[in-house]
Chains A and B, each alone.
Chain A
Amino acid sequence: MVHFTAEEKSTILSLWGKVNVEEAGGEALGRLLVVYPWTQRFFDSFGNLSSASAIMGNPKVKAHGKKVLTSFGEAVKNMDNLKPAFAKLSELHCDKLHVDPENFKLLGNVMVIILATHFGKEFTPDVQAAWQKLVSGVATALAHKYH
């Protein structure tokens, strides 16, 4: 079980407070689909994913990205109990969505990169380390109920 120090929690919370979830969510999902095109396998119904600009501008990508990142907000509120917080979503991703947990790691790292582009110098190595811990914890929690 991942444990966050008080400092890590406050680092994460303070940055999260400044994130535009709608915008960042769309960017994160978009970049996942651009950088790792095989992840498009889950989104056949999303329409035009034929180029980087098509993907980044795709309204379904943006809407779904917002959904995903909003849900990520639950992680920030439940850093001490990620597994229970994501239990239902874990079952959903296994039983209904059939998503390989490897994809959670890919998305987590893309999110870290998005944060770096948004926050620049403020996204110091220490801040990154706290966020890597969180995205890794979420990835583990989302994979926890797989069977």
Chain B
Amino acid sequence: MSLTKTERAIIVSMWGKISTQADAIGTETLERLFLSHPQTKTYFPHFDLHAGSAQLRAHGSKVVAAVGDAVKSIDNIAGALARLSELHAYILRVDPVNFKLLSHCLLVTVAARFPADFTAEAHAAWDKFLSVVSSVLTEKYR
């Protein structure tokens, strides 16, 4: 699966908006993930996951920053996320099903904050993009 030129343009343009609220979006994404899919909390026994927690905020920022890295190197996502791919494969070993859950919660967050920009086309492009990111992150699993 590879991104068309049009899709890349849409993704980059939406990122422009997302980046203005990156940290808040990251935090909200994780809040949504843990509330809607409580089983995902099993990966964070060492975290305080209450709303407003500093750890939640820091981790949310990390996640969205990584998405941003993928956007900035949209022609070579595998290259940009190589280190993260290894981290997920050998250390974190998050079950692949969870990438879909996180991606969905990020899309919900973006949809709620930028409804006018989150058209059907933008939705399709971002769903595909996050799917590519997820594939890269699980590429080395076995």
By a beta-carbon cutoff of 8 Å, the part of chain A in contact with chain B is 27, 30-31, 34-35, 52, 55-56, 109, 112-113, 116-121, 123, 125-126, 128-129, 132
Instruction: Tell me whether A109 and B104 are in contact (CB under 8 A).
Output: yes
- Bound-state CA distance A60–B36 (Å) is 33
Instruction: Tell me whether A125 and B28 are in contact (CB under 8 A).
Output: yes
- Bound-state CA distance A60–B60 (Å) is 41
Contact stretch, chosen from B64-72, B115-123, B132-140: B115-123
Instruction: Tell me whether A123 and B120 are in contact (CB under 8 A).
Output: no
Least CB separation from A56: chain B residue: B120
Instruction: Tell me whether B115 and A118 are in contact (CB under 8 A).
Output: yes
- Bound-state CA distance A47–B119 (Å) is 22
Contact stretch, chosen from B77-85, B86-94, B105-113: B105-113
* Chain B residues whose CB sits within 8 angstroms of the CB of A113 once the complex forms: 104, 107-108, 111, 118, 123
Chain B residues with a Cβ closer than 8 Å to the other chain, count: 22
By a beta-carbon cutoff of 8 Å, the part of chain B in contact with chain A is 28, 31-32, 35-37, 104-105, 107-109, 111-113, 115, 118-121, 123-124, 127
Instruction: Tell me whether A129 and B36 are in contact (CB under 8 A).
Output: yes
Report 9 cross-chain contacts, Cβ distance below 8 Å, ordered by A residue: A27-B120, A34-B121, A35-B123, A112-B104, A113-B118, A116-B112, A116-B115, A121-B112, A129-B35
Instruction: Tell me whether B113 and A120 are in contact (CB under 8 A).
Output: yes
Between A34, A52, A128, the greatest number of chain B beta carbons within 10 A of the residue's beta carbon is seen for A128
Least CB separation from B104: chain A residue: A109
Return the contact of A30 from the options B32, B107, B120 (Cβ within 8 A): B120
Least CB separation from A33: chain B residue: B120
Given contacts A31-B120, A35-B124, A52-B120, 18 further A-B contacts (CB under 8 A): A31-B124, A34-B123, A35-B120, A52-B121, A56-B120, A109-B104, A113-B107, A113-B108, A113-B111, A113-B118, A113-B123, A117-B115, A120-B113, A121-B112, A125-B28, A128-B35, A128-B105, A129-B32
